[in-house]
Amino acid sequence: MKLKVTLEEAEEGGYIVSCPALTGCHSQGDTAEEALENIREAIEGCLESLSDEKISSLTTQGKIIEVTV
């Protein structure tokens, strides 16, 4: 899966990175490389959280089906 992220230099140094497709998914790092690695982890966490929320809000009318992306 490929998602676009925004990478900005922080005023106080380092980098701020976020994933616009996932509301609230942000991270940071001292270097651009570190910030990009951190956002990968943040994206994984956001996707897991969304998955857990969907499962807990599932009604009896639906099914859980896992697909690979």
Q: Which tens digit of pLDDT belongs to each residue from 28-68? A: 999 999 999 999 999 999 988 887 666 555 444 566 566 67
Token pair 């809000």 in the structure block, residue: 57
- Which helix (H) or strand (E) is 49 found in, with range? helix 32-56
Note if the pTM is more than 0.85: no
30, 10 contact by CB (below 8 A): no
| pLDDT on residue 55 | 54
Closest CA to 39 of 6, 17, 10: 17
Which residues are 15's β-sheet partners?
9, 29
Residue 19 backbone phi and psi in degrees, to 5: -115, 100
